[in-house]
Structure 1
Protein backbone atom coordinates (compact mmCIF):
# COMPACT_ATOMS: atom_id res chain seq x y z
CA UNK A 1 0.00 0.00 0.00
CA UNK A 2 1.44 3.37 -1.03
CA UNK A 3 0.59 6.30 1.20
CA UNK A 4 -0.82 9.45 -0.44
CA UNK A 5 1.16 12.63 -0.13
CA UNK A 6 -0.08 14.92 2.61
CA UNK A 7 1.86 18.18 2.48
CA UNK A 8 1.01 20.46 5.41
CA UNK A 9 3.84 22.95 5.07
CA UNK A 10 6.64 23.53 2.60
CA UNK A 11 9.29 26.23 3.00
CA UNK A 12 12.20 26.93 0.71
CA UNK A 13 15.06 29.31 1.41
CA UNK A 14 18.80 29.62 0.89
CA UNK A 15 21.31 28.49 3.52
CA UNK A 16 25.02 27.79 3.48
CA UNK A 17 26.42 24.27 3.74
CA UNK A 18 30.07 23.46 3.12
CA UNK A 19 30.63 26.95 1.72
CA UNK A 20 28.00 26.69 -1.03
CA UNK A 21 24.39 27.88 -0.93
CA UNK A 22 21.74 25.22 -0.30
CA UNK A 23 18.00 25.26 -0.84
CA UNK A 24 15.79 23.77 1.84
CA UNK A 25 12.31 22.24 1.69
CA UNK A 26 10.24 20.96 4.62
CA UNK A 27 7.40 18.46 4.32
CA UNK A 28 5.13 17.03 7.01
CA UNK A 29 2.82 14.02 6.83
CA UNK A 30 1.06 11.55 9.13
CA UNK A 31 0.86 7.78 8.88
CA UNK A 32 -2.20 6.21 10.54
CA UNK A 33 -1.39 3.23 12.74
CA UNK A 34 -4.05 0.53 12.55
CA UNK A 35 -1.74 -2.23 13.81
CA UNK A 36 1.60 -2.36 15.61
CA UNK A 37 4.16 -2.56 12.78
CA UNK A 38 7.91 -1.85 12.93
CA UNK A 39 9.18 1.32 11.23
CA UNK A 40 12.05 1.12 8.72
CA UNK A 41 13.70 4.46 7.78
CA UNK A 42 16.60 4.81 5.34
CA UNK A 43 18.35 7.87 3.92
CA UNK A 44 21.49 8.14 1.80
CA UNK A 45 22.53 11.33 3.56
CA UNK A 46 20.89 13.12 6.49
CA UNK A 47 20.00 12.80 10.17
CA UNK A 48 17.28 10.60 11.64
CA UNK A 49 15.65 11.71 14.90
CA UNK A 50 12.96 9.56 16.52
CA UNK A 51 11.11 10.09 19.80
CA UNK A 52 8.09 8.64 21.51
CA UNK A 53 4.83 10.56 21.42
CA UNK A 54 1.37 10.26 22.93
CA UNK A 55 -0.55 10.32 19.64
CA UNK A 56 -1.61 7.01 18.01
CA UNK A 57 -0.26 7.87 14.54
CA UNK A 58 3.26 8.35 13.20
CA UNK A 59 4.12 12.03 12.61
CA UNK A 60 6.94 12.63 10.12
CA UNK A 61 8.78 15.83 9.22
CA UNK A 62 11.11 15.56 6.22
CA UNK A 63 13.81 18.20 5.70
CA UNK A 64 15.38 18.23 2.22
CA UNK A 65 18.45 20.26 1.21
CA UNK A 66 20.06 20.52 -2.22
CA UNK A 67 22.37 22.89 -4.15
CA UNK A 68 19.85 23.55 -6.95
CA UNK A 69 16.10 23.79 -7.35
CA UNK A 70 16.22 21.01 -9.97
CA UNK A 71 17.91 18.63 -7.53
CA UNK A 72 15.51 19.61 -4.75
CA UNK A 73 12.51 18.90 -6.98
CA UNK A 74 13.73 15.36 -7.68
CA UNK A 75 14.33 14.47 -4.02
CA UNK A 76 11.47 12.74 -2.27
CA UNK A 77 10.55 10.07 0.26
CA UNK A 78 9.02 6.79 -0.87
CA UNK A 79 6.40 5.57 1.62
CA UNK A 80 4.98 2.07 1.85
CA UNK A 81 3.00 0.07 4.39
CA UNK A 82 3.98 -3.57 4.02
CA UNK A 83 2.65 -6.67 5.67
CA UNK A 84 5.47 -6.67 8.23
CA UNK A 85 6.72 -3.08 8.42
CA UNK A 86 6.21 0.55 7.47
CA UNK A 87 8.96 1.74 5.12
CA UNK A 88 10.32 5.25 4.51
CA UNK A 89 13.18 5.53 1.99
CA UNK A 90 14.79 8.55 0.37
CA UNK A 91 15.10 9.02 -3.40
CA UNK A 92 17.73 11.40 -4.78
CA UNK A 93 18.38 12.77 -8.28
CA UNK A 94 19.18 9.94 -10.70
CA UNK A 95 22.88 9.71 -11.49
CA UNK A 96 23.94 12.15 -8.77
CA UNK A 97 26.96 10.86 -6.83
CA UNK A 98 28.42 13.98 -5.20
CA UNK A 99 26.99 17.12 -3.60
CA UNK A 100 23.46 15.77 -4.05
CA UNK A 101 22.10 17.29 -0.84
CA UNK A 102 20.57 15.45 2.08
CA UNK A 103 17.21 14.34 3.45
CA UNK A 104 16.67 14.27 7.23
CA UNK A 105 13.79 12.88 9.28
CA UNK A 106 12.15 14.03 12.52
CA UNK A 107 9.66 11.40 13.64
CA UNK A 108 7.25 11.09 16.58
CA UNK A 109 5.46 7.78 17.08
CA UNK A 110 4.10 5.31 19.67
CA UNK A 111 6.79 4.21 22.14
CA UNK A 112 6.33 0.49 21.53
CA UNK A 113 7.23 0.74 17.82
CA UNK A 114 10.29 -1.31 16.85
CA UNK A 115 12.78 0.68 14.74
CA UNK A 116 15.23 0.03 11.91
CA UNK A 117 17.15 3.22 11.05
CA UNK A 118 20.00 3.74 8.57
CA UNK A 119 21.87 6.71 7.13
CA UNK A 120 25.07 6.65 5.13
CA UNK A 121 26.09 10.08 6.37
CA UNK A 122 24.38 11.64 9.38
CA UNK A 123 23.46 11.22 13.03
CA UNK A 124 20.82 8.91 14.48
CA UNK A 125 18.97 9.93 17.65
CA UNK A 126 16.37 7.86 19.51
CA UNK A 127 14.60 9.07 22.64
CA UNK A 128 12.08 7.61 25.12
CA UNK A 129 11.25 4.49 23.12
CA UNK A 130 10.47 1.14 24.74
CA UNK A 131 10.95 -1.37 21.89
CA UNK A 132 13.84 -2.85 19.89
CA UNK A 133 16.15 -0.56 17.90
CA UNK A 134 18.44 -1.45 14.97
CA UNK A 135 20.41 1.63 13.88
CA UNK A 136 23.45 2.22 11.71
CA UNK A 137 25.42 5.06 10.14
CA UNK A 138 28.57 5.08 8.05
CA UNK A 139 29.61 8.54 9.20
CA UNK A 140 27.94 10.18 12.20
CA UNK A 141 27.00 9.63 15.84
CA UNK A 142 24.31 7.41 17.34
CA UNK A 143 22.49 8.49 20.51
CA UNK A 144 19.87 6.26 22.16
CA UNK A 145 18.25 7.61 25.33
CA UNK A 146 15.53 5.13 26.27
CA UNK A 147 14.79 1.87 24.44
CA UNK A 148 14.16 -1.86 24.93
CA UNK A 149 11.96 -1.98 28.01
CA UNK A 150 11.67 -5.79 27.93
CA UNK A 151 14.36 -8.46 28.31
CA UNK A 152 13.36 -9.89 24.92
CA UNK A 153 14.06 -6.58 23.12
CA UNK A 154 17.25 -6.05 21.12
CA UNK A 155 19.30 -2.88 20.58
CA UNK A 156 21.78 -3.33 17.72
CA UNK A 157 23.91 -0.30 16.81
CA UNK A 158 26.64 -0.10 14.16
CA UNK A 159 28.79 2.93 13.32
CA UNK A 160 31.78 3.06 11.00
CA UNK A 161 32.99 6.51 12.02
CA UNK A 162 31.39 8.19 15.03
CA UNK A 163 30.47 7.86 18.69
CA UNK A 164 27.71 5.72 20.21
CA UNK A 165 25.98 6.91 23.38
CA UNK A 166 23.43 4.78 25.23
CA UNK A 167 21.33 5.60 28.27
CA UNK A 168 18.41 3.88 30.00
CA UNK A 169 18.51 0.71 27.86
CA UNK A 170 17.29 -2.83 28.49
CA UNK A 171 17.19 -6.08 26.54
CA UNK A 172 20.24 -7.29 24.62
CA UNK A 173 22.68 -4.57 23.52
CA UNK A 174 25.28 -4.81 20.76
CA UNK A 175 27.03 -1.51 19.98
CA UNK A 176 30.06 -1.38 17.70
CA UNK A 177 32.00 1.45 16.07
CA UNK A 178 35.11 1.22 13.93
CA UNK A 179 36.36 4.68 14.87
CA UNK A 180 34.76 6.39 17.85
CA UNK A 181 33.81 6.05 21.51
CA UNK A 182 31.04 3.92 23.04
CA UNK A 183 29.37 4.71 26.37
CA UNK A 184 26.54 3.11 28.37
CA UNK A 185 24.99 4.46 31.56
CA UNK A 186 21.78 4.06 33.54
CA UNK A 187 21.13 0.63 32.04
CA UNK A 188 17.96 -1.00 33.34
CA UNK A 189 19.07 -3.63 35.88
CA UNK A 190 15.71 -5.36 35.65
CA UNK A 191 15.35 -5.45 31.84
CA UNK A 192 18.98 -5.70 30.68
CA UNK A 193 20.02 -9.20 29.58
CA UNK A 194 23.49 -8.72 28.09
CA UNK A 195 25.63 -5.97 26.59
CA UNK A 196 28.54 -5.99 24.15
CA UNK A 197 30.28 -2.67 23.55
CA UNK A 198 33.23 -2.55 21.16
CA UNK A 199 35.41 -0.14 19.21
CA UNK A 200 38.34 -0.71 16.88
CA UNK A 201 39.77 2.71 17.68
CA UNK A 202 38.14 4.55 20.58
CA UNK A 203 37.30 4.50 24.27
CA UNK A 204 34.64 2.45 26.06
CA UNK A 205 32.79 3.78 29.12
CA UNK A 206 30.40 1.87 31.40
CA UNK A 207 28.58 3.37 34.37
CA UNK A 208 27.35 0.57 36.61
CA UNK A 209 24.07 1.23 38.48
CA UNK A 210 23.59 0.59 42.19
CA UNK A 211 23.27 -3.04 43.29
CA UNK A 212 24.49 -4.44 39.97
CA UNK A 213 24.17 -8.05 38.87
CA UNK A 214 26.89 -8.22 36.24
CA UNK A 215 29.45 -10.70 34.92
CA UNK A 216 32.07 -8.43 33.39
CA UNK A 217 34.81 -9.03 30.83
CA UNK A 218 36.77 -5.97 29.64
CA UNK A 219 39.76 -6.00 27.28
CA UNK A 220 41.93 -3.46 25.48
CA UNK A 221 44.76 -4.40 23.13
CA UNK A 222 46.43 -1.00 23.44
CA UNK A 223 45.22 1.18 26.28
CA UNK A 224 44.34 1.16 29.96
CA UNK A 225 41.40 0.06 32.10
CA UNK A 226 40.27 2.38 34.89
CA UNK A 227 37.65 1.55 37.53
CA UNK A 228 36.46 2.72 40.95
CA UNK A 229 34.85 -0.64 41.76
CA UNK A 230 37.95 -2.39 43.08
CA UNK A 231 38.11 -4.76 40.11
CA UNK A 232 41.52 -6.31 39.50
CA UNK A 233 43.14 -5.24 36.24
CA UNK A 234 45.79 -7.46 34.68
CA UNK A 235 48.22 -6.17 32.06
CA UNK A 236 50.67 -7.64 29.58
CA UNK A 237 52.72 -5.28 27.43
CA UNK A 238 50.24 -2.67 26.07
CA UNK A 239 47.16 -4.84 26.67
CA UNK A 240 44.99 -4.93 29.78
CA UNK A 241 42.07 -7.11 30.89
CA UNK A 242 39.60 -7.05 33.77
CA UNK A 243 37.10 -9.76 34.67
CA UNK A 244 34.76 -9.78 37.65
CA UNK A 245 31.35 -10.81 38.93
CA UNK A 246 29.28 -8.13 40.64
CA UNK A 247 26.27 -9.39 42.56
CA UNK A 248 24.73 -12.55 41.12
CA UNK A 249 26.26 -11.97 37.68
CA UNK A 250 22.98 -12.36 35.81
CA UNK A 251 23.84 -9.76 33.13
CA UNK A 252 26.77 -10.53 30.84
CA UNK A 253 28.76 -7.43 29.85
CA UNK A 254 31.65 -7.55 27.37
CA UNK A 255 33.76 -4.45 26.68
CA UNK A 256 36.54 -4.41 24.09
CA UNK A 257 38.66 -1.95 22.14
CA UNK A 258 41.69 -2.55 19.96
CA UNK A 259 43.13 0.90 20.58
CA UNK A 260 41.62 2.93 23.41
CA UNK A 261 40.89 3.10 27.12
CA UNK A 262 38.08 1.46 29.10
CA UNK A 263 36.42 3.17 32.07
CA UNK A 264 34.19 1.21 34.46
CA UNK A 265 32.64 3.33 37.20
CA UNK A 266 29.85 2.79 39.68
CA UNK A 267 27.79 4.82 42.10
CA UNK A 268 29.68 5.62 45.31
Structure 2
Protein backbone atom coordinates (compact mmCIF):
# COMPACT_ATOMS: atom_id res chain seq x y z
CA UNK A 1 0.00 0.00 0.00
CA UNK A 2 3.00 2.33 0.14
CA UNK A 3 2.61 3.20 -3.53
CA UNK A 4 -0.92 4.53 -3.20
CA UNK A 5 -0.36 6.46 0.02
CA UNK A 6 2.79 8.18 -1.26
CA UNK A 7 1.15 9.07 -4.52
CA UNK A 8 -1.78 10.82 -2.85
CA UNK A 9 0.70 13.05 -1.04
CA UNK A 10 2.60 13.90 -4.23
CA UNK A 11 -0.29 14.25 -6.73
CA UNK A 12 -0.82 17.77 -8.02
CA UNK A 13 -3.91 17.38 -10.17
CA UNK A 14 -7.29 15.73 -9.67
CA UNK A 15 -10.74 15.63 -11.19
CA UNK A 16 -14.00 14.12 -9.92
CA UNK A 17 -16.49 12.11 -11.95
CA UNK A 18 -19.95 11.56 -10.40
CA UNK A 19 -22.66 9.37 -11.92
CA UNK A 20 -25.85 7.60 -10.90
CA UNK A 21 -26.93 4.24 -12.32
CA UNK A 22 -30.60 3.32 -12.10
CA UNK A 23 -31.29 -0.35 -11.37
CA UNK A 24 -34.79 -1.75 -11.87
CA UNK A 25 -33.88 -4.77 -9.76
CA UNK A 26 -30.59 -4.37 -7.85
CA UNK A 27 -28.55 -7.55 -8.33
CA UNK A 28 -24.78 -7.14 -8.24
CA UNK A 29 -22.13 -4.43 -8.32
CA UNK A 30 -18.74 -5.55 -9.62
CA UNK A 31 -15.93 -3.03 -9.24
CA UNK A 32 -12.41 -3.65 -10.54
CA UNK A 33 -9.79 -1.00 -9.78
CA UNK A 34 -6.20 -1.28 -10.98
CA UNK A 35 -4.65 1.55 -8.96
CA UNK A 36 -6.67 3.16 -6.17
CA UNK A 37 -9.15 2.43 -3.41
CA UNK A 38 -12.77 1.24 -3.34
CA UNK A 39 -15.17 2.41 -0.62
CA UNK A 40 -18.76 1.15 -0.28
CA UNK A 41 -21.55 2.30 2.00
CA UNK A 42 -25.36 2.30 2.15
CA UNK A 43 -27.30 5.46 2.88
CA UNK A 44 -30.63 4.82 1.20
CA UNK A 45 -33.09 2.24 -0.14
CA UNK A 46 -33.17 3.66 -3.65
CA UNK A 47 -32.74 1.39 -6.66
CA UNK A 48 -29.60 3.11 -7.82
CA UNK A 49 -25.84 3.11 -7.41
CA UNK A 50 -24.15 6.46 -6.96
CA UNK A 51 -20.49 6.56 -7.98
CA UNK A 52 -17.86 9.16 -7.20
CA UNK A 53 -14.56 8.50 -8.99
CA UNK A 54 -11.68 10.79 -8.05
CA UNK A 55 -8.82 10.72 -10.54
CA UNK A 56 -5.40 11.85 -9.33
CA UNK A 57 -2.28 12.35 -11.42
CA UNK A 58 1.08 14.06 -11.25
CA UNK A 59 0.51 15.62 -14.67
CA UNK A 60 -2.77 17.26 -15.69
CA UNK A 61 -2.74 15.72 -19.17
CA UNK A 62 -2.75 12.24 -17.61
CA UNK A 63 -6.16 12.73 -15.98
CA UNK A 64 -7.95 12.14 -19.29
CA UNK A 65 -6.02 8.89 -19.75
CA UNK A 66 -7.35 7.44 -16.49
CA UNK A 67 -10.44 5.73 -17.89
CA UNK A 68 -13.56 4.65 -15.99
CA UNK A 69 -15.72 2.11 -17.81
CA UNK A 70 -19.27 1.05 -16.95
CA UNK A 71 -21.42 -1.83 -18.19
CA UNK A 72 -25.05 -2.28 -17.13
CA UNK A 73 -26.80 -5.55 -17.95
CA UNK A 74 -30.21 -6.89 -16.97
CA UNK A 75 -30.76 -10.49 -15.89
CA UNK A 76 -33.82 -12.33 -14.49
CA UNK A 77 -32.24 -12.40 -11.02
CA UNK A 78 -31.37 -8.69 -11.07
CA UNK A 79 -29.40 -5.93 -12.76
CA UNK A 80 -25.62 -6.22 -12.83
CA UNK A 81 -23.37 -3.19 -12.92
CA UNK A 82 -19.67 -3.47 -13.77
CA UNK A 83 -17.35 -0.53 -13.06
CA UNK A 84 -13.68 -0.84 -13.99
CA UNK A 85 -10.48 1.09 -14.52
CA UNK A 86 -7.50 -0.35 -16.38
CA UNK A 87 -3.91 0.05 -15.27
CA UNK A 88 -1.57 1.96 -17.57
CA UNK A 89 2.08 1.57 -16.63
CA UNK A 90 2.96 4.73 -18.55
CA UNK A 91 0.64 6.89 -16.42
CA UNK A 92 1.49 7.99 -12.89
CA UNK A 93 -2.07 8.14 -11.58
CA UNK A 94 -4.84 6.48 -9.58
CA UNK A 95 -8.64 6.36 -9.43
CA UNK A 96 -10.31 6.35 -6.02
CA UNK A 97 -13.91 5.03 -6.03
CA UNK A 98 -16.68 5.80 -3.57
CA UNK A 99 -20.04 4.06 -4.01
CA UNK A 100 -23.40 4.45 -2.30
CA UNK A 101 -25.42 1.31 -3.04
CA UNK A 102 -28.81 -0.30 -2.33
CA UNK A 103 -28.65 -2.18 0.97
CA UNK A 104 -29.24 -5.69 -0.42
CA UNK A 105 -27.04 -5.58 -3.52
CA UNK A 106 -24.35 -8.24 -3.96
CA UNK A 107 -20.78 -6.94 -4.08
CA UNK A 108 -17.81 -8.31 -6.04
CA UNK A 109 -14.78 -6.06 -5.51
CA UNK A 110 -11.18 -6.24 -6.73
CA UNK A 111 -8.15 -3.97 -6.47
CA UNK A 112 -4.64 -4.49 -7.80
CA UNK A 113 -3.02 -1.75 -5.69
CA UNK A 114 -5.50 -0.20 -3.29
CA UNK A 115 -7.62 -0.70 -0.20
CA UNK A 116 -11.20 -1.98 -0.05
CA UNK A 117 -13.62 -0.69 2.57
CA UNK A 118 -17.27 -1.80 2.96
CA UNK A 119 -19.63 -0.66 5.71
CA UNK A 120 -23.27 -1.31 6.57
CA UNK A 121 -24.55 -3.44 3.69
CA UNK A 122 -26.91 -6.44 3.75
CA UNK A 123 -25.89 -8.31 0.60
CA UNK A 124 -23.11 -10.93 0.34
CA UNK A 125 -19.57 -9.68 -0.26
CA UNK A 126 -16.68 -11.12 -2.26
CA UNK A 127 -13.52 -8.98 -2.23
CA UNK A 128 -9.90 -9.41 -3.30
CA UNK A 129 -6.94 -7.04 -2.99
CA UNK A 130 -3.59 -7.95 -4.52
CA UNK A 131 -1.69 -5.22 -2.67
CA UNK A 132 -3.99 -3.55 -0.19
CA UNK A 133 -5.96 -3.85 3.02
CA UNK A 134 -9.59 -4.96 3.29
CA UNK A 135 -11.90 -3.57 5.99
CA UNK A 136 -15.46 -4.85 6.38
CA UNK A 137 -17.89 -3.62 9.04
CA UNK A 138 -21.51 -4.13 10.07
CA UNK A 139 -22.43 -6.74 7.48
CA UNK A 140 -25.64 -8.79 7.47
CA UNK A 141 -24.66 -11.48 4.94
CA UNK A 142 -21.77 -13.79 4.11
CA UNK A 143 -18.25 -12.43 3.60
CA UNK A 144 -15.43 -13.97 1.53
CA UNK A 145 -12.30 -11.79 1.32
CA UNK A 146 -8.70 -12.32 0.28
CA UNK A 147 -5.42 -10.41 0.00
CA UNK A 148 -2.64 -11.72 -2.21
CA UNK A 149 0.85 -10.24 -1.92
CA UNK A 150 0.44 -7.84 0.99
CA UNK A 151 -2.43 -6.45 3.00
CA UNK A 152 -4.34 -7.13 6.20
CA UNK A 153 -8.01 -7.95 6.74
CA UNK A 154 -10.32 -6.46 9.38
CA UNK A 155 -13.90 -7.72 9.75
CA UNK A 156 -16.22 -6.41 12.47
CA UNK A 157 -19.85 -7.12 13.34
CA UNK A 158 -20.52 -9.69 10.63
CA UNK A 159 -23.85 -11.45 11.16
CA UNK A 160 -23.18 -14.39 8.84
CA UNK A 161 -20.36 -16.75 7.85
CA UNK A 162 -16.84 -15.39 7.31
CA UNK A 163 -14.00 -16.58 5.09
CA UNK A 164 -10.76 -14.56 5.20
CA UNK A 165 -7.43 -15.40 3.54
CA UNK A 166 -4.12 -13.54 3.38
CA UNK A 167 -1.73 -15.28 0.99
CA UNK A 168 1.23 -13.02 1.74
CA UNK A 169 2.25 -10.83 4.66
CA UNK A 170 -1.01 -9.76 6.22
CA UNK A 171 -2.78 -10.09 9.56
CA UNK A 172 -6.42 -11.04 10.06
CA UNK A 173 -8.54 -9.43 12.76
CA UNK A 174 -12.15 -10.55 13.24
CA UNK A 175 -14.37 -9.05 15.93
CA UNK A 176 -17.90 -9.87 17.10
CA UNK A 177 -18.28 -12.94 14.89
CA UNK A 178 -21.56 -14.79 15.45
CA UNK A 179 -21.47 -17.60 12.87
CA UNK A 180 -18.84 -19.81 11.22
CA UNK A 181 -15.31 -18.46 10.67
CA UNK A 182 -12.66 -19.83 8.32
CA UNK A 183 -9.41 -17.84 8.30
CA UNK A 184 -5.94 -18.65 7.01
CA UNK A 185 -2.71 -16.73 6.53
CA UNK A 186 0.77 -17.37 5.18
CA UNK A 187 2.85 -14.98 7.29
CA UNK A 188 0.49 -13.10 9.57
CA UNK A 189 -1.31 -13.26 12.88
CA UNK A 190 -4.97 -14.21 13.30
CA UNK A 191 -7.02 -12.61 16.08
CA UNK A 192 -10.65 -13.73 16.24
CA UNK A 193 -13.23 -12.63 18.79
CA UNK A 194 -16.45 -14.66 18.72
CA UNK A 195 -19.44 -13.32 20.61
CA UNK A 196 -21.28 -16.55 19.72
CA UNK A 197 -20.54 -19.91 18.12
CA UNK A 198 -23.59 -21.77 16.71
CA UNK A 199 -24.40 -25.28 17.94
CA UNK A 200 -23.18 -26.86 14.71
CA UNK A 201 -20.83 -24.04 13.82
CA UNK A 202 -17.22 -24.27 12.68
CA UNK A 203 -14.20 -22.15 13.57
CA UNK A 204 -11.09 -22.98 11.52
CA UNK A 205 -7.99 -20.79 11.95
CA UNK A 206 -4.72 -21.71 10.22
CA UNK A 207 -1.30 -20.05 10.01
CA UNK A 208 0.71 -21.69 7.24
CA UNK A 209 4.29 -20.43 7.70
CA UNK A 210 4.58 -18.04 10.63
CA UNK A 211 2.12 -16.19 12.81
CA UNK A 212 0.29 -16.51 16.10
CA UNK A 213 -3.38 -17.36 16.58
CA UNK A 214 -5.64 -15.95 19.30
CA UNK A 215 -9.25 -17.09 19.66
CA UNK A 216 -11.52 -15.36 22.17
CA UNK A 217 -14.93 -16.84 22.95
CA UNK A 218 -17.50 -17.12 25.75
CA UNK A 219 -17.09 -19.73 28.48
CA UNK A 220 -20.55 -21.06 27.55
CA UNK A 221 -19.35 -22.37 24.17
CA UNK A 222 -20.08 -26.03 23.37
CA UNK A 223 -17.36 -27.29 21.04
CA UNK A 224 -14.83 -29.97 20.24
CA UNK A 225 -11.40 -28.36 20.13
CA UNK A 226 -8.51 -29.62 18.02
CA UNK A 227 -5.37 -27.48 18.15
CA UNK A 228 -1.80 -28.02 17.01
CA UNK A 229 1.37 -25.97 16.61
CA UNK A 230 4.61 -27.41 15.27
CA UNK A 231 7.09 -25.09 16.99
CA UNK A 232 5.04 -22.86 19.27
CA UNK A 233 2.99 -23.26 22.45
CA UNK A 234 -0.74 -23.81 22.91
CA UNK A 235 -2.48 -22.37 25.97
CA UNK A 236 -6.11 -21.98 27.05
CA UNK A 237 -7.67 -19.79 29.73
CA UNK A 238 -10.94 -21.70 29.27
CA UNK A 239 -11.61 -25.17 30.68
CA UNK A 240 -11.19 -27.98 28.17
CA UNK A 241 -11.90 -31.64 29.00
CA UNK A 242 -9.09 -33.52 27.30
CA UNK A 243 -9.77 -36.67 25.30
CA UNK A 244 -8.34 -39.70 27.12
CA UNK A 245 -5.18 -41.20 25.66
CA UNK A 246 -2.40 -43.53 26.74
CA UNK A 247 1.20 -42.32 26.73
CA UNK A 248 4.53 -42.58 28.46
CA UNK A 249 5.43 -39.76 30.83
CA UNK A 250 8.66 -38.25 29.59
CA UNK A 251 10.08 -34.99 28.29
CA UNK A 252 8.81 -35.61 24.77
CA UNK A 253 5.19 -36.15 25.81
CA UNK A 254 5.28 -33.02 27.99
CA UNK A 255 6.40 -31.01 24.96
CA UNK A 256 3.63 -32.57 22.91
CA UNK A 257 1.05 -31.53 25.49
CA UNK A 258 2.14 -27.90 25.04
CA UNK A 259 1.73 -28.16 21.29
CA UNK A 260 -1.37 -30.28 20.83
CA UNK A 261 -4.86 -30.36 22.28
CA UNK A 262 -7.88 -32.54 21.54
CA UNK A 263 -10.73 -31.96 23.93
CA UNK A 264 -14.30 -30.89 24.59
CA UNK A 265 -15.95 -27.77 25.94
CA UNK A 266 -19.50 -28.32 27.18
CA UNK A 267 -21.37 -30.72 24.90
CA UNK A 268 -18.77 -30.52 22.14
CA UNK A 269 -21.35 -29.80 19.42
CA UNK A 270 -19.46 -27.13 17.46
CA UNK A 271 -16.09 -27.70 15.77
CA UNK A 272 -12.96 -25.64 16.47
CA UNK A 273 -9.71 -26.29 14.59
CA UNK A 274 -6.58 -24.22 15.29
CA UNK A 275 -3.23 -24.86 13.62
CA UNK A 276 0.07 -23.02 13.24
CA UNK A 277 3.48 -24.04 11.98
CA UNK A 278 5.71 -21.84 14.14
CA UNK A 279 3.42 -19.51 16.09
CA UNK A 280 1.76 -19.71 19.48
CA UNK A 281 -1.95 -20.50 19.85
CA UNK A 282 -3.99 -18.89 22.62
CA UNK A 283 -7.61 -19.54 23.64
CA UNK A 284 -8.99 -16.80 25.87
CA UNK A 285 -12.33 -15.67 27.27
CA UNK A 286 -14.31 -13.02 25.44
CA UNK A 287 -14.25 -9.82 27.44
CA UNK A 288 -17.60 -8.65 28.80
CA UNK A 289 -19.17 -5.76 26.89
TM-score, normalization: structure 1? 0.77
Contact 2:44 2:101 survives alignment (8 Å):
yes
Shift of 1:65: 1.1
1:106 aligns with 2:70: no
Q: In structure 2, how many angstroms separate the alpha carbons of the residues matched to 1:262 and 1:135? A: 27
Q: Following the alignment from structure 2 to structure 1, what is the Cα–Cα distance between the partners of residues 106 and 272?
A: 23
Q: Residue 41 of structure 1 aligns to a residue in which SS? A: strand
Asked whether the equivalents of residues 26 and 61 of structure 1 are also in contact (C-alpha less than 8 Å), the reply is yes
Q: Based on CA coordinates, which of the two structures has the bigger radius of gyration?
A: 2
Alpha carbons of 1:112 and 1:82: their partners in 2 closer, same or farther (altered >3 Å)? Answer: same
Contact 1:204–1:263 at 8 Å: present in 2 too?
no
Hey, what does 2:126 align to over in structure 1? 134
Number of the residue aligned with 1:86: 81
SS of equivalent to 2:27: coil
1:180 pairs with one of 166, 170, 180: 170
Residue 256 of structure 1: how far off its partner (Å): 4.5
> Does structure 1 retain, via aligned residues, the 8 Å contact 2:241–2:265?
no
Aligned to 1:266: 285
What CA distance in whole angstroms lies between the structure 2 residues aligned with 1:213 and 1:129? Answer: 30
Task: After TM superposition, give the deviation of residue 67 of structure 1 in Å.
Answer: 2.1
Looking at structure 2, the residues matched to 58 and 225 of structure 1 have their Cα atoms a distance apart, in angstroms, of 48
**1:119 and 1:254, CA in 2 relative to 1: closer, same or farther beyond 3 A?**
farther
| SS of equivalent to 1:87 | strand
Question: For residues 184 and 69 of structure 1, what CA distance do their matches in structure 2 show?
Answer: 41
The 5-angstrom pairing of residues 1-268 of structure 1 reads 17=7, 20-56=10-46, 57-84=48-75, 85-92=80-87, 96-97=88-89, 100-149=92-141, 154-160=142-148, 161-177=150-166, 178-188=168-178, 192=179, 194-209=180-195, 210=218, 211-212=220-221, 216-225=225-234, 227-231=236-240, 240-242=259-261, 246=265, 252-268=271-287
Number of aligned pairs? 242
Residue 224 of structure 1 deviates from its aligned partner by 4.4
Relative to structure 2, which stretch is displaced further, 61-70 or 136-145? 61-70
**Whole-Å separation in 2 of the counterparts to 1:88 and 1:155:** 20
Aligned Cα root-mean-square deviation (Å): 3.0
1:214–1:253 CA contact under 8 A, matched in 2: yes
Give CA-to-partner distance per residue, 1:100-137, whole Å, 9 cap, x none. Answer: 31111111112211100000011111111122110011
Residues 108/195 of structure 1: CA separation in 2 closer, same or farther (3 Å cut): same
Does the 8 Å CA contact 1:123/1:140 hold for their aligned counterparts?
A: yes
Give the secondary-structure state (helix, strand or coil) at the position aligned to 2:12: strand
Q: Which moved more, 1:256-265 or 1:74-83?
A: 256-265
Residue 184 of structure 2 aligns to a residue in which SS? strand
Contact 1:224 1:262 in 2 (8 A): yes
Question: 3-state DSSP class of the match of 1:73?
Answer: helix
Question: Where does structure 1 lack aligned partners over 5 or more consecutive residues?
Answer: 1-15
**Deviation of 1:74 (Å):** 1.5
Query: What secondary structure, in the 3-state scheme, does the structure 1 residue paired with 2:63 have?
Result: helix
Shift of 1:59: 1.4
Question: Which SS does the other structure have where 2:122 is aligned?
Answer: coil
Secondary structure, in 3 states, of the residue corresponding to 2:35? coil
Unmatched runs of 5 consecutive residues or more in structure 2: 1-5, 196-217, 243-252
